[in-house]
Amino acid sequence: MKKKFILLGLFISCGTLLIAQNNFMKNSRVSGNFQLDAQYYIPDAAMGANTIRDKIRANAFANINYTNGGFSAGLRYEFYQFPLIDFEKIHYIGHGIPHYYIGYNHEYFEVTVGSFYEQFGNGLIYRSYENRNLGYDNATYGIRVKGKPYKGIVITGIWGMQRNLFVKEGQIRGIDGDISFSEMFSKLSDNSVTLGIGGSFLSKFEVDNDPDYNLPENVAAFATRLNFGYKDFNLNAEYAYKFNDPLVKLNDMIYKPGEALVVTASYAMKGLGIYLTGLRTDNMDFRTVRTAEANNNIINYIPTLTREHTYALPAMFPYASQAQGQIGFQAQVNYQIKKRSKIGGKYGTDIMVNYSQIHGIKQNPVEEAVNAGGDMTGTDGYTSPFFGIGKLLFQDFNIEISRKFNSTWKLGLGYVFLLYNQDVIEGHIGQPNVLSHTAIADLTCQINNKHALRLELQHLYSKQNKGIWSSRNWLYGQLEYSISPKWFISVLDRWNYGNIDKTKRIHYYSVSGSFVYGTTKITLSFGKQYEGILCVGGVCRAVPASYGAGLSIVSSF
């Protein structure tokens, strides 16, 4: 009864305010978006597609946002009660309104109550983030306050719980400060200097009910960062430290503190860009719940320093960040051979070279117990010298050249070498590293202003197997016809012709068509999907292994 009374009060007050103020109404806006992905599953034992009793599954969500000047409120309804099989696999099952917020954004401050997404620096100690297509959403529920007391200074405070799938868990609180000197002092930016520093602190709380271990209930982490730029050169560094934090499944209950360092340098001028980044992480898994595993209850974000491949075959071997221990670097050069030059041609020729190499860290085991309380259980686990390099986990060399010959023809050529440690990255214990060479050709023929045909060919050469469904050589071909901007038709086939098991030399074919009208896109598809990233009609997203027909509707208003 009390609740109803309050609600009524709220309504009347807001309503009166709204109606009384025509000015207020003028600025009010309602917007939102909607997405439905449905799939009809056909079992196919030959490709490992299991029988699914309820054959039709779908993921759906809709956002509604209301804004009025600095004021905003919104919610998202999610329906994942009978989700696509890959979402079922990660237990992303449920429905309701898990996302809702009210916020006010002023020149000097910003307040949000409800659920929100935020990150401190690179996210090494805190990032709440969503990616709907991956089923990843660790929004923070609670309150966020941002203060902008002076030009160039932003202070952010957060406090609340964490979303994990469809429940709220844990307790986190944190603060971040960011100072941009080049925004404060115009003298710096006048001399093409950018300089900024930042620092953040985050702490989590979880009750200790463990009979054996004396566990820290409050675990803190902090990070500091620096950004320096001069003319075309830029340097960015962030260091994070996490206090003792034994986790059941992710660090074998060790008390060793964690740390992470990311340094990125880049140089960019017209026609040339150079990028270099290094990373070291050690025991940096940070979760709200000690028993968490997989992608659940993640508080922070450890970026992966490898290129995200968009071509289907090299994308089959993606590196997954190893927060518990990795050291590596990535370098990339982008160069454009000048337009209207002899070698560059009329439109110029773009070249990109990229290399990355990641190792595990060296670990020297420690035996003696460090935890003085309780039963003296628990050790630091290991010590690790900062530059101690362990097993090779991943290596990637790739080069891409693309050139537009005239208004009709465009060609892209690529080569990718990958070394993939499936033992560590995917947990295929004892399996050898996969070494692969991929050649790519991507040809576009712009028939006229509206009609275009694109042909993509890829060949992957390898002598190793990754599980039973990917073995040795692959061939990939895709033909896409588009009538801009409304129609797309695509036919593709991905064939594991080199599989040592002849019965598994499967053609993963797929036929799809899309219709786009403004912000609405409807896609129909039929075929076999090998898990990975699928790009059709200009949009990319992750897709699971399955056989059947799909319908996807995406719209915004």
Partner 1 sequence: MIFHSTIVFFFTFAAIKYFNLFNCMKQIISLLVIAFAISSAIAQEDFSKRKMSLPSVDLKTLNGKTFNTQDMDNNEKPIIICFFATWCKPCMTELKAISDVYDDWQDETGVKIYAISIDDSRSSAKVSPLVKGQNWDYEFLLDENSDFKRAMNVNDIPHTFVLNKNKEIVWQHTSYSPGAEQEYINIVRKLIAEPNK
Give the footprint of partner 1 on residues 132-171 (CB under 8 A): 132-133, 152, 154
Interface residue with partner 1 among 83, 114, 170, 550 (CB under 8 A) is 114
Question: In this chain, which stretch among 46-54, 169-177, 345-353, 377-385 interacts with partner 1, using CB under 8 A?
Answer: 345-353
Question: In this chain, which stretch among 207-215, 381-389, 429-437, 484-492 interacts with partner 1, using CB under 8 A?
Answer: 484-492
42 vs 274, beta carbon nearer partner 1: 274
- Integer Cα distance of 3 and 435 in angstroms: 63
Taking the complex as a whole, how short is the minimal distance between the CB of residue 452 and partner 1, in angstroms?
4
- Integer Cα distance of 161 and 178 in angstroms: 24
Question: Which parts of 223-242 interact with partner 1 (CB under 8 A)?
Answer: 227, 229, 232, 234, 236
Residue 172 lies near partner 1 (rule: CB under 8 A): no
Taking the complex as a whole, how short is the minimal distance between the CB of residue 244 and partner 1, in angstroms?
26
Taking the complex as a whole, how short is the minimal distance between the CB of residue 464 and partner 1, in angstroms?
26
Question: In this chain, which stretch among 204-212, 241-249, 498-506, 534-542 interacts with partner 1, using CB under 8 A?
Answer: 534-542
Interface residue with partner 1 among 48, 81, 90, 119 (CB under 8 A) is 119
3-class SS of residue 286: coil
75 vs 165, beta carbon nearer partner 1: 75
Interface residue with partner 1 among 541, 545, 549, 551 (CB under 8 A) is 541
Helix (H) or strand (E) holding 277: strand 272-282
Is the bond preceding 246 in cis, omega lying within 30 degrees of 0? no
- Of 265, 266, 247, 272, which is closest to residue 257 (Cα–Cα)? 247
Residue 267 lies near partner 1 (rule: CB under 8 A): yes
Distances 216 to 204, 207, 257 between C-alpha atoms, Å: 10, 9, 12
- Helix boundaries (H) for 44-180: 85-89
Question: Which parts of 374-413 interact with partner 1 (CB under 8 A)?
Answer: 402, 404
Taking the complex as a whole, how short is the minimal distance between the CB of residue 125 and partner 1, in angstroms?
12
Taking the complex as a whole, how short is the minimal distance between the CB of residue 16 and partner 1, in angstroms?
10
Question: Using alpha carbons only, how large is the chain's radius of gyration in Å?
Answer: 26
How many other CB atoms are there within 10 angstroms of residue 301's CB atom? Answer: 21
Taking the complex as a whole, how short is the minimal distance between the CB of residue 493 and partner 1, in angstroms?
19
Burial class (CB in 10 A: 0-12, 13-18, 19+), 9: exposed
277 vs 395, beta carbon nearer partner 1: 277
Question: Which parts of 191-220 interact with partner 1 (CB under 8 A)?
Answer: 194, 196
- Of 472, 466, 530, which is closest to residue 498 (Cα–Cα)? 472
Residue 177 lies near partner 1 (rule: CB under 8 A): no
Helix (H) or strand (E) holding 19: helix 2-20
- Of 451, 507, 456, which is closest to residue 479 (Cα–Cα)? 456
Taking the complex as a whole, how short is the minimal distance between the CB of residue 450 and partner 1, in angstroms?
5
Interface residue with partner 1 among 130, 423, 426, 493 (CB under 8 A) is 130
Taking the complex as a whole, how short is the minimal distance between the CB of residue 131 and partner 1, in angstroms?
9
168 vs 437, beta carbon nearer partner 1: 168
DSSP assignment of 312-376, as one string?
TTGGGS-----TTEEEEEEEEEEEEEPTTBTTTBTT-EEEEEEEEEEEEEP-EE--SB---STT-
Residue 187 lies near partner 1 (rule: CB under 8 A): no
User: Token pair of 45, please?
Assistant: 């034992």
- Residues 206/290, Cβ–Cβ less than 8 Å: yes
* Strand pairing class (127-128; 118-119): antiparallel
The alpha carbon of residue 266 and the mean position of all alpha carbons in its chain are separated, in whole angstroms, by 22
Number of residues that bind partner 1 (CB under 8 A): 133
Taking the complex as a whole, how short is the minimal distance between the CB of residue 472 and partner 1, in angstroms?
26
63 vs 473, beta carbon nearer partner 1: 63
- Integer Cα distance of 473 and 374 in angstroms: 56
Tell me the one-letter amino acid at 47. M
User: Token pair of 157, please?
Assistant: 């405070």
- Residues 466/531, Cβ–Cβ less than 8 Å: no
Question: In this chain, which stretch among 42-50, 126-134, 291-299, 364-372 interacts with partner 1, using CB under 8 A?
Answer: 126-134
Question: In this chain, which stretch among 375-383, 468-476, 504-512, 538-546 interacts with partner 1, using CB under 8 A?
Answer: 538-546
- Integer Cα distance of 346 and 348 in angstroms: 6
Contacts of 90 (CB under 8 A, 6+ apart): 135, 294, 295
Question: Which parts of 4-33 interact with partner 1 (CB under 8 A)?
Answer: 6-7, 9-11, 13-15, 17-19, 21-25, 27-33
Interface residue with partner 1 among 40, 79, 117, 382 (CB under 8 A) is 117
DSSP assignment of 378-422, as one string?
-B--EE--TT-EEEEEEEEEEEEEEEE-SSSEEEEEEEEEEEE-H
136 vs 469, beta carbon nearer partner 1: 136
- Of 201, 238, 239, which is closest to residue 220 (Cα–Cα)? 201
Interface residue with partner 1 among 249, 451, 500, 524 (CB under 8 A) is 451
Question: Which parts of 63-92 interact with partner 1 (CB under 8 A)?
Answer: 63-75
Question: Which parts of 281-340 interact with partner 1 (CB under 8 A)?
Answer: 301, 303-305, 308, 310-311, 332-336, 339
Taking the complex as a whole, how short is the minimal distance between the CB of residue 460 and partner 1, in angstroms?
18
Torsion angle, CA of 287/289/294/298, rounded to 10 degrees?
-30
Question: Which parts of 411-450 interact with partner 1 (CB under 8 A)?
Answer: 444, 446, 448-450
42 vs 352, beta carbon nearer partner 1: 352
